[in-house]
Amino acid sequence: MEVSHTVVESPLGALTLVAEDGALSGVYFENHLRGPAPDALGPNVERGSGSPDSGFERARRQLAEYFSGRRTHFDLPLAPRGDSFQQRVWKLLDQIPYGETRTYGDLARELGDPALAQAVGSANGRNPLSIVVPCHRVIGADGRLTGYAGGLPRKRFLLDLEESHAGTGPGRLF
């Protein structure tokens, strides 16, 4: 397995993108809660370093489109590492439409067991693909912003960004 990373600038500060064998496996903020150890990131592939295409250009472009309001869903090869339950939760996250939110309880019900809300929250908090797999679209049952590995101000920024470009829809909870 070949692992590498690069750092891209965003309106939320530097983002570290990690790829494994050409598929995006991580998007991490500075001071990311539960982020990987630096030695797990592989070598840094810097933009314009003359190295062969690292596979990060597509992710870099799509993130820029997202932040400018021109992209509502990512189309990238992904390879998040997690157990089978986490993978199921992350697939549900990816189905939450741009500009909409769901509660942890909503996702637990979609998984077939309303009692799984805390487990959904735990899996959500371990999502290694921040922004790309939109864990920021999950909020508390009372509509409050809860937990985000990048910090609640970043979560609010992402929700506000999407709200400003999406208008209103049936799943709007903020």
* pLDDT at residue number 7: 94
In terms of C-beta density within 10 A (0-12 exposed, 13-18 middle, 19 or more buried), how is residue 122 classed?
middle
* Sign of the torsion angle spanned by Cα atoms 30, 31, 34, 40: positive
Between β-strands 23-29 and 15-20, what pairing exists: parallel, antiparallel or unpaired?
antiparallel
Q: Taking 60 as the threshold, does the pLDDT of residue 100 lie above it?
A: yes
Task: Give the active site residue among 17, 19, 89, 135.
Answer: 135
| Whole-angstrom distance, CA of residue 81 vs CA of residue 97 | 23
What is the per-residue pLDDT across 3-37, written as a single tens digit (0 to 9) for each? 899 999 999 999 999 999 989 999 999 988 887 87
Fold topology of 84-166: Arc Repressor Mutant, subunit A (1.10.10)
Across the strands, what pairs with 78? 24
Q: Is 135 a catalytic residue?
A: yes
- Kindly give, in sequence order, each residue whose CB lies less than 8 Å from that of residue 74, ignoring residues fewer than 6 positions away: 62, 66, 132
* pLDDT at residue number 165: 81
Please indicate whether residue 43 or residue 70 has the higher confidence score (pLDDT). 70
Between 9-13, 39-43, 55-59, 128-132, the lowest mean confidence (pLDDT) is in 39-43
Q: What's the one-letter identity of residue 82? A: G
Question: What is the rounded average pLDDT of the residues 81-85?
Answer: 96
pLDDT band at 174 (very low <50, low <70, confident <90, very high): very low
* pLDDT at residue number 31: 84
Question: What is the rounded average pLDDT of the residues 105-112?
Answer: 96
